[in-house]
Amino acid sequence: MLGRVLVAGGAGYVGSHCCRAFAEAGWEVTVFDNLATGWRDLVQWGDLIEGDLNNPADIEAAFQKVKPDAVAHFAGSTLVGESVHEPEKYYRNNTFTTLNLIEVMRRHEVRNIIFSSTCAIFGKAQTEYLAEDHPFSPINPYGMSKLMVEYMLADADRAHGIRSACLRYFNAAGADRDARTGERHVPETHLIPLALKGAYDPDFSFTIHGTDFDTPDGTAIRDYIHVEDLAEAHLLALNALRDGAPSNAFNLGTGLGTSVAEIVAAVEAATGRVLPRKTGPRRPGDPPRLVAAPDHAARTLGWKATRSDVDTIIRSALAWHQKDWQRE
């Protein structure tokens, strides 16, 4: 056994994939989740402790039971548009809850934490590819709440020796290779699940939000990264902290930008169906282009995205959703 890891938010999309990667590598996994947005059936690689990061007593009880060597923190609220209208929810669920977690880690002398961060901390891209030293300028409360956590973790390291790896996702996509876990949100806001639903459900209206961005085809460009590639990066970062690596931050992406219109075309190709669509206004807080410069993760962790071509992403997502739609 490599150690015991407590996975906050491990019943969710990225968290559940990381639980599989951790468990298969030899970590003893325990999931800590309030199931507000997570799913009991996605907890397949370790026991579940139901609890809420808003309640320090719940965290304390979990630490007493598990005695973790490390924490992987995926819990929180993630909807950019909602954060604009309900900012207090994001500062409570993302920032305040992490303070609770850090305080319990300090009491139990747990020194290693993997944090699920986001490229939203950068705001509008000032360079074609976003490296770790790109200026921080979040344009929505979601990004600001995550940036605050990164600052908190840096201070916790300086003050208490709590070392962290902040993993900044670009656009997580795809699903587990065996369709054992995948993307399931209520409401669903992510592009690929919505496009797949639109291709198969005649009663669902698929909308492209914004066709007037300053991009070649007018639709937003993002860096789509397969969730299993993300899980591999988390495992490498967790192992590095276990082996004594210093705190670090990593931008996780492919370095390739794909537009919404290109994703739509790829969904049509994968399904053999025409995707009916309508256009709507941009969502609040959406920048036109976000593409990672993943060189630092490659140099430091030896990590590179290997499953993140668009066709593989969409095929794996389709296999998961076709299975999951039968549950509904």
* Same domain membership, residue 77 and residue 15: yes
Which of 90, 129, 142, 224 does the annotation list as catalytic?
142
User: Domain for residue 178, yes or no?
Assistant: no
- Type of residue numbered 267: V
94-103 pLDDT tens trace: 999 999 999 9
Within a domain: residue 292?
Answer: yes
Is residue 231 in some structural domain? yes
pLDDT of residue 65: 98
For 124-176, the pLDDT digits (tens) are 889 999 999 999 999 999 999 999 999 999 999 999 999 999 999 999 999 99
CATH of the domain at 274: 3.90.25.10
Asked if 167 and 117 touch (Cβ cutoff 8 Å), the reply is yes
User: What mean pLDDT value characterizes the chain?
Assistant: 95
Residue 118 has pLDDT above 70, yes or no: yes
* CATH assignment of the domain containing 39: 3.40.50.720
Considering the domain architecture, whether residues 123 and 199 belong to the same structural domain is answered as no
- pLDDT: which is higher, 315 or 1: 315
Tell me whether residue 181 is in a domain.
Answer: no
Q: Are residues 103 and 42 in the same domain?
A: yes
Q: Which residues are CB-contacts of 328 (< 8 A; sequence separation ≥ 6)?
A: none
Percentage of the chain surpassing pLDDT 90? Answer: 90
pLDDT above 80 for 298: yes
Domain hosting residue 284, numbered range: 191-222+255-325
On whether both 218 and 284 belong to a single domain, the answer is yes
Is residue 14 located within the same domain as residue 128? yes
Known catalytic residue at 91: no
Let me know whether 266 and 248 are in one domain. no
Q: How confident is the model at residue 281 (pLDDT cuts 50, 70, 90)?
A: very high
Residue 151 lies in a domain: yes
- Domains contained in the chain, number: 2
pLDDT confidence of residue 325: 84
| 185 part of a folded domain | no
284: pLDDT strictly greater than 90: no
Same domain? For 240 and 263 the reply is no
In a domain, 182, yes or no: no
Does residue 130 share a domain with residue 242?
yes
Same domain, 39 and 163: yes
pLDDT of residue 111: 98
**Strands (E) located in the chain:** 3-8, 27-33, 47-50, 70-73, 112-118, 163-169, 171-173, 207-209, 221-222, 224-226, 248-252, 258-259, 278-280, 289-290
The pLDDT of residue 1: 86
pLDDT of residue 328: 61
Tell me what the mean pLDDT of segment 26-37 comes to. Answer: 97
Same domain, 89 and 102: yes
Residue-level pLDDT at 133: 96
Within 13 Å, how many C-alpha atoms sit on residue 304's CB side? 5
Mutual angle of helices 97-108 and 56-66, in 10-degree steps:
40
- Please tell me whether residues 204 and 121 are part of one structural domain: no
The whole-model pTM stands at 0.95
Tokens of 13: 């999309």
Residue 52 is predicted with a pLDDT of: 98
- The arithmetic mean of pLDDT across residues 280-294, rounded, is 87
Shared-domain flag, residues 158 and 211:
no
Instruction: Evaluate whether residue 132 is within a structural domain.
Output: yes
Q: pLDDT tens-digit profile of 218-272? A: 999 999 999 999 999 999 999 999 999 999 999 999 999 999 999 999 999 999 9
Region of poorest pLDDT, from 30-44, 103-117, 149-163, 276-290: 276-290
